[in-house]
Chain A
Amino acid sequence: MARIGVFICHCGENIARNVDVDRVAEAAAQIPGVAHAESYRYMCSDPGQRKIREAIVAQGLTGIVVAACSPHMHENTFQNAVEGAGLNRYLCEMANLREHCSWVHSDREEATSKALELIAIMVEKVKRNQPLAPIRVPMTKRALVIGGGIAGIQAALDIANAGRDVVLVEREPSIGGHMAQLSETFPTLDCSQCIMTPRMVEVKNHPRIQLYTYAEVEAVDGYVGNFTVTIRRRARSVDESKCTGCGACTQRCPQKKIASEFDAGMGQRPAIFIPFAQAVPNLPVIDRTRCTMFLKGKCGLCAKACPAGCIDYEQTDTLVTEEVGAIVMATGFDVQPPTLYPEYGSDPDIINGLQFERLLSASGPTAGEPRRPSNGEVPRSVVFVACAGSRDPARGVPYCSSICCMYTAKHALLYKHKVHDGQAYVFYMDIRAAGKNYDAFVHRVIAEEGAQYLRGRVSRIYRDGDQLVVRGADTLSGTALTIRADLVVLATAVTPRPGSDALAQKLSVPYDAFGFASEAHPKLRPVETNTAGVFLAGTCQAPRDIPDTVAQAGGCAAKVLALFSADQLEREPVVSRVNEATCVACFDCERVCPFHAPEHRELRNRAGDLLRVVSHINEGVCAGCGLCVVTCRSHSIDLAGFSDEQTFAEIGALAPF
């Protein structure tokens, strides 16, 4: 016989203002099966939780309904309280009287009667709740990090330094990512390469890190603690075991005018190339889409030039398989090209922020001296345009790219440092400089470095002779502006790395309309995803700067290490189970399951003869969505915690409203 306890929270005044809690408590006590009903000002407080625990013990309650806020807010709190009194935590349900009732219905009478019905629904549900036990599965204590930018490097090093093996996969020929491309970093103006390259070398030399560059994740199978990852190692056309990185091949290559990816198109590279001087690994790679040998079938100069004989035109992609227990996705970002707005035209002297970084970088094509791409002269006047694509729902992206205000200020400052008599103009919408010492930095750029900040949009850019004419508005003074510039730098929008959506699909990680991977909870689980064992670091989740990325990567590492701290995994027991007696083995469950949880189980008699094959849900993999339950025509599958019987009971309780 069910003995349900109903605990109604006033939530201070939040619920009590619009819901007559005393009347609800009185009426709730009359619901069949309810043995105890009371209301209290703050149910989630310590005295409130004590009331629940005491009532469970004193009244021998078999199920609890806490009528308070959303279960997303405090379900865990009350489950813990219930467990503290010796009742299974899954015998507790919440009726959402605050978000779904008192806060949205001002008519006290209506809200009160609705509140009572919401409680009645949950009473009927909790009567049918079953005690559930956490699920335990074994685990491989080895992590995969996808992406070798600062996020991936940080996560990999943190995990490896804590004594766990890491597999790091980078798509490009070298690790380093965008941070290796940057000149100096805001607001401290550290040389980016000076702080980045030692970390890259550390990765290379770390005994616990297995590094795969020029490689991509091909397939991911399995589940938290037990992933099997297939990695495609693309053919470098260079034997890594023999190459010394001398670079003789790159000097002999007849193709020298290919736009360098590392220099964001500001510099050039040969068809066989080492991406940059400090690349890790310091090995060349043949770009087969541009190499004469691959395009025309003859050349072979690099092979002749190589003293170690390590050029291999016949090399093919290879697939390797790695077993890991956790995955960190750190695939990073891209910036849009500076050609989004037709009214800005497309001109060699209109570049984006990343291209300007390369012009400012000591390792860049101009050795750190800003020069105009059109004629190689030093620009005397530069216009920076912030939000050139960001925060523009109509034509660009609606979100803020988060880093542009700061790097644009930095660009203006670095430019002024290099061209003392030059003039920097910055068009901005508003300045978002919320990081530590960021605001002071922007003020310094404006006040001390003499960058001219203009609040307004640029309406048009066109070439006039040797110069660009930038027409815009200063909305603070209400004047139209025309500025003659030698160079225009657009702070174009930060977007996810192309292909990261395909990877997210392989990892079963949801992503938003722009392709940024979705965290499990924006506040409370910012580095976890809804796929257990998969974590997010850096800009694959949202635009962010280096300190935030490093912090998040460290957070990922901590989560991975915490996961690895137990010998077995514990999981929420909201999973599907198959009734083997009625399963007809159509395996439609297998077809619909996004997680490949259904397996084939052979039923045998004692003599070992095969009787039937039926579906069996791997509890370690099942995420508890219930799709198989609905798909199963014989209803041989049910979902713990959201069973058919519970739901029917909830619907049954709806009648009187």
Chain B
Amino acid sequence: MSTETLLTPSAPDTATWKPRLVAFVCNWCTYTGADLAGTSRTEYPANVRIVRLPCSGRIDPHFIIRAFEQGADGVLVSGCHPGDCHYTAGNYHARRKFMVLHALAEFLGIEPERLQFSWVSAAEGRKWADVVSDVVAGLLRVGPVQPTWGGAGELPVRSLSEPPRPVPEPLDVVGELRATAQRWLSDCRVDVFVGYGQGSLPGRLRPAFITSPDEVDQLVWNEHAVNNLATYLTRGLVKRHGRVGLLVKSCDARAVVGLLQERQIEREQVTLLGVPCIGVEVDGALAPKCHTCDSAWPALVDEVLSAEVPLTPVDGEGLAAEIAWVEKMSPAQRRAWWQAQFDRCLRCYACRAVCPLCYCSQCIADQSRPQWVSKSSDGRGNLAWNLVRAFHLAGRCVGCGECTRVCPSNIRLDLLNAKLAQVVRDEFGYVAGGDPDLPPPLTTYLLEDHEEFIR
């Protein structure tokens, strides 16, 4: 297991250290603004290296991650002021992505000085010089990236502010479940019904793919029905059967909404059977996501099983409490804590396999030209993989918690996802898995989106 630091491979010699700043800038405004600083002979520190891209909308978060991997002490991202974009809206879209990235960096304990954003127009040569000077001064203040060896591993994985809760007795719906699945299959309404079957270990269920009305007795329902079956909707194994009947809990149904929104499934190909759910079990206790779940009934269904649902008031803050717990740490502690988390990553990609919204036929983690993510399980690759995974789910994660449940190393992916869901909710007023007709928040923008974090 790697003991490399989050950002840089080795601690530099502080006596001769000079901050290394990489600037990703748009061609039309900031690059030209920097040209103007030149023609105006406005002096600024030589620590900056500019990478020219057509638009701030072309600045991929991966580029920023790679710059840090490459040993940069800081990254500056700069484009046109709102309204000035050469391509009319590239910077508005970029602003939303930057907002998420900014929050993510902060949550990971990366000092704000290290990741800075600015708008510099073609007329603002002076501003460019000032921004670079200022960012370099900030880097001098925070110094070189410090290694975080030792101590980090001793931090607890989980906050104890929310005590585990007991799992309620499951509702008795099995009879109706089997009857409905049988009816759907006999009527040729669906070609395959995806529900839960008995697993090989006690207390474990596994997905059951029922293609014949005679097999419906394999279907079961109890508090161990934790898997998000929506994952299978995009998998070829299930897709090739044709029309799919799917058993959904309220959280699973939200993932179906996401898939509809992203055009991965056609509504008419899927028939949804809603199951009222009052909580499932993870590690012998009520799953964390169930603490804050406010609905036993899935919102998007074609038919629903009937049951008397006891009123379960929502109380406790669930993951929000744990996010607050992480945020209470100092940035350095936070970085160490996440470092310890990511160090454990085996790069088994179970998180990817189980996620209903990770459906790409070829994941970037498997691509080689270019190599987006280092493929071995080391500090760099683990950081890049986990950041990219979280970023790709920003505004899309429905909080089913499956990634964290299946992680063999107990990495708190759910905290990253939940933090970004918070950002998306607070900044863009959007909650994933609600309305399938809404555009995903990172594919749209508002003129009045916040930009206080941009210089």
Contact = CB atoms under 8 A, between A and B. Distances in A.
A140 interface: no
Contact of B46 (A71, A114, A509): A114
A133 interface: no
A72 to B, nearest CB: 6
A530 interface: yes
Contacts of A631: 93, 442-443
B408 interface: no
Specify which of A70, A509, A645, A652 lies most central, judged by the most chain B CB atoms within 10 Å of its CB. Answer: A70
B70 A99 contact: no
A98 B86 contact: no
A118 B49 CA distance: 7
Contact of A625 (B50, B54, B262, B363): B54
B59 A630 contact: yes
A68 to B, nearest CB: 12
A203 interface: no
A100 to B, nearest CB: 6
B4 to A, nearest CB: 16
B443 A594 contact: no
Interface string A473-517: 000000000000000000000000000000001001111110000
B38 A103 contact: yes
A654 interface: yes
Interface stretch (B296-304, B313-321, B323-331, B354-362): B354-362
Contacts of B70: 651-652, 654-655
Interface stretch (A183-191, A243-251, A268-276, A632-640): A632-640
B38 A626 contact: no
Contacts of B57: 592, 625-627, 630
Interface stretch (B192-200, B225-233, B367-375): B367-375
Contacts of A587: 262-263
Nearest to A505: B88
Interface stretch (A105-113, A168-176, A210-218, A356-364): A105-113
Contact of A634 (B39, B60, B363, B440): B363
Q: Is the interface of B mostly helix, strand, loop or mixed?
A: loop
Contacts of A629: 58, 60
A146 B113 CA distance: 48
B364 interface: yes
A98 B46 contact: no
Contacts of B166: none
Given A104-B37, A104-B129, A594-B87, A645 B361 contact: no
Contacts of B52: 71
A574 B36 CA distance: 25
A657 B20 contact: yes
A626 B35 contact: no
B443 A626 contact: no
Contacts of B37: 99, 104
A587 B39 CA distance: 43
Contact of A654 (B72, B89, B129, B263): B72
A111 B71 CA distance: 20
Specify which of A96, A586, A639 lies most central, judged by the most chain B CB atoms within 10 Å of its CB. Answer: A586
Contacts of B94: 627, 630
Contacts of A101: 46
B87 A117 contact: no
Specify which of A629, A633, A655 lies most central, judged by the most chain B CB atoms within 10 Å of its CB. Answer: A633
A118 B55 CA distance: 20
B46 A105 contact: yes
A588 interface: yes
A582 B361 contact: yes
B127 to A, nearest CB: 14
B93 A111 contact: no
A649 B44 CA distance: 26
Given A103-B38, A657-B20, A634 B360 contact: yes
A644 interface: yes
A586 B83 contact: no
A325 interface: no
A518 interface: yes
Interface in B343-384: 359-364, 367, 369-372
Contact of B372 (A581, A623, A624, A635): A635
A574 B87 CA distance: 13
A584 interface: yes
A42 interface: no
Given A634-B360, A654-B49, A591 B440 contact: yes
Nearest to A583: B361
B58 A630 contact: yes
A647 B43 contact: no
A650 interface: yes
Interface string B63-103: 10011001110000000000111111110011001000000
B2 interface: no
A647 B35 contact: no
A642 interface: yes
A635 B55 CA distance: 17
Interface in A354-405: none
A523 B44 CA distance: 27
A118 B22 CA distance: 12
A639 B35 contact: no
24 contacts: A70-B35, A99-B39, A104-B41, A105-B46, A118-B49, A508-B87, A510-B88, A574-B54, A582-B360, A585-B263, A586-B263, A592-B57, A594-B87, A594-B88, A623-B87, A626-B58, A627-B94, A631-B442, A648-B63, A648-B66, A649-B370, A651-B51, A654-B20, A654-B70
Closest 9 CB pairs of A and B: A99-B38, A626-B58, A627-B57, A625-B87, A591-B443, A634-B360, A103-B38, A110-B46, A625-B55
Interface of A: 70-73, 96, 98-101, 103-107, 110-111, 114, 117-118, 121, 505, 508-513, 518, 530, 574, 581-582, 584-588, 591-592, 594-595, 623-627, 629-631, 633-635, 639, 642, 644-645, 647-652, 654-655, 657
Interface of B: 20, 22, 28, 31-32, 34-39, 41-44, 46, 49-55, 57-63, 66-67, 70-72, 83-90, 93-94, 97, 129, 262-264, 359-364, 367, 369-372, 392, 439-440, 442-444
